Structure 1
Amino acid sequence: MAMDGQNQAPRLAKPSWKDPRLLIGILLVLASVAAVVALVEGASRTVPMYAAKDALTVGQKVSAADFTIVQVQLGAVDGKYLAPADALAENAVAIRMVPKGELVSRSSIGAADALNRKPASFTIDEPLPQDIVVGSRVDVWVSLPDERNGFDPPQLMLPGVEVAALNVATGSLGAGRNTQLLVLVTDSQMPNFLGAVANRAKVSVVWNPGAGS
C-alpha cells in the first residue's frame, strides 16, 4: 500500500557553499583563530632593552658602556625604559640610583643640571646594620661637640636620605673598623651638615626602610 506523499518526512537539503550562513560561520572561525594567534605572538614578543651593568649612582656620568642589552617582554610599558636605539647625550648622568641588573628607566637618566641632590661624605666608627646598602634610606643623626669635651644630645639632621655609596675600612693591625658613607643631600641641607662634619660632630646612622616609599 502506497503511503501518502504528504506523510513522508522532509529530506534535509545538503549544505551549499553558497549558503551565506555557512560563509559567515567560516569567517567567524577564521577571525577567532587570527585573534588568538595575534594575542600569543604579542605576549611572546621580546624587545632589546638596557639594564645596568653595575649599580648606577646619582651623579655618575653614563654611556652605553655602562649598560648590558637584555631581551624582555614589556608590553604597555615599552616606552618607559631605555633601549639601545635611544641616543644618549654626551653629558648624560644618572639622576636616580639604578641597582645592578635592573632595567634603566628613561627618568633615571638626565643632565647634570637636573640633579636636585648631591653626595656628601662622612665617616662613622659604629658598625652599620646589614640592611643598609647602596640605595637604602637612612636617618642621619648628629651630635655637636659641647664646651666640656663631650657632645650635645643628638639631633636628626638628615631624615630619610639615600645611601649613594659606602666603604668599610679596617684600621691598622685589624684594630677597629670605620665606614665611609656617601648620602644624597639637597642644597638646603648641605650647609648645616657640612658645618657639623667640619666641627668633628659625632654622626650616627639609623636604617629607615619606610622613607622614600
Structure 2
Amino acid sequence: MGATAPVMRLRRPRWRDPRLIVGIVLVVASVLMGALLVSRLSETTPVLIAKGPIAPGDPLDAETLTTVELRLGDQQELYVGSLDAVPEGAVASRAVQAGEMLPVSAVGQPEDVALRPVVIPVDASVAESVVPGATVELWHTSPAPQDGGSGEARLLVEEAIVRRVDEGSSLGMRSMSVEVLVPQESVAEVLQVLAEEERLDVIGVPGAYGVTP
C-alpha cells in the first residue's frame, strides 16, 4: 500500500486567542455605537416656536413663543430651548416667521435693533407678499411733470421689514396703512416724503426671507 496522505485537522479556536478577542470587541463596539446613534436620533428636546410672525424689536415672551418637543440632533445648541433661557427684556434681533424655531442668533436687546417703525398710508390694497415679517422695498414716485415734478420712481429703502398691516375700516373712517421697520439712517428721508404727501409704495421682494415668489 502507498503512503497515506497526512490528515489536516482544524484546531478549535481558544477563548484566549487574541484575534477572537479583538473580533468580539469590534462587534460589541459597533453594536453599542449603532444603538447610541439611534437613541440620539430618536431623542426629542424642547425648543421655542414662534406663535406668529415676530418682527425685529418685538419682545420674546410667552405671548409670542410656545414650547414643543422636536428631534434636533446635533443642531440642539443652535436654538433656544425654553423661556427660562431667554434673557430678561430680550427682543428679536431679526424677523422670525410663524412656526419657526427661535435661533439663538435671533435673541438680542433693544439697543441691538438698528431699525425704526414708520407707518405708511396705502391708497389701495397691497400685494399678498406684503405680510408681517416680510422683507419689502420702499419706492418713492415724485409728482408728475405737470405738477412741477419729474414723475420718476426711485428706490428709497432697499430692505425694510413689515411689522403690521392695517386693513383700515369698511366705513372709511380709517385708511389702510402698513407699518414697516426701516434702517435708522433712512428714517429722515422716508418721513420727508410722507410729509410732502408724495407717493410711497411698499413692494414685496420675491425670493427674500419671508416672501413667496
In the superposition, the TM-score normalised over structure 1's length comes to: 0.84
User: Counterpart of 2:156 in structure 1: which amino acid?
Assistant: M
Name the SS for the 1:205 alignment partner.
Answer: strand
User: Counterpart of 2:93 in structure 1: which amino acid?
Assistant: I
Name the SS for the 2:164 alignment partner.
Answer: strand
Query: Does structure 1 residue 168 correspond to structure 2 residue 146?
Result: no
User: Counterpart of 1:187 in structure 2: which amino acid?
Assistant: Q
Indicate the residue corresponding to 2:137 in structure 1: 139
Name the SS for the 1:22 alignment partner.
Answer: helix
Pick closer, same or farther for the CA change 1:206–1:151 going to 2, 3 Å.
farther
Hey, what's the Cα distance between the residues in 2 that align with 1:99 and 1:210? 15
Indicate the residue corresponding to 2:72 in structure 1: 74
Pick closer, same or farther for the CA change 1:177–1:33 going to 2, 3 Å.
same
Hey, what's the Cα distance between the residues in 2 that align with 1:206 and 1:150? 26
Hey, what's the Cα distance between the residues in 2 that align with 1:15 and 1:147? 100
Query: Does structure 1 residue 121 correspond to structure 2 residue 126?
Result: no
1:61-210 equivalences in 2 (<5 Å): 61-84=59-82, 86-144=84-142, 152-153=150-151, 154-172=153-171, 178-210=175-207
- Asked if 2 retains the 8 angstrom alpha-carbon contact of 1:145 and 1:199, the reply is no
Indicate the residue corresponding to 1:17 in structure 2: 15
Shift of residue 27, structure 1, vs aligned partner: 1.5
Name the SS for the 2:58 alignment partner.
Answer: coil
User: Counterpart of 2:195 in structure 1: which amino acid?
Assistant: A
- Asked if 2 retains the 8 angstrom alpha-carbon contact of 1:125 and 1:179, the reply is yes
User: Counterpart of 2:160 in structure 1: which amino acid?
Assistant: V
Give the total of aligned pairs: 209
Q: Identity over the aligned pairs, expressed in percent?
A: 30
Name the SS for the 1:141 alignment partner.
Answer: strand
In the superposition, the TM-score normalised over structure 2's length comes to: 0.84
Structure 2, unpaired ranges of 5+ = none
Name the SS for the 2:39 alignment partner.
Answer: helix
Shift of residue 28, structure 1, vs aligned partner: 1.6
Pick closer, same or farther for the CA change 1:125–1:114 going to 2, 3 Å.
same
Indicate the residue corresponding to 1:38 in structure 2: 36
Name the SS for the 1:161 alignment partner.
Answer: strand
User: Counterpart of 1:9 in structure 2: which amino acid?
Assistant: V
Shift of residue 135, structure 1, vs aligned partner: 2.3
Hey, what's the Cα distance between the residues in 2 that align with 1:10 and 1:73? 57
What RMSD, in angstroms, separates the aligned Cα atoms of the two structures? 2.8
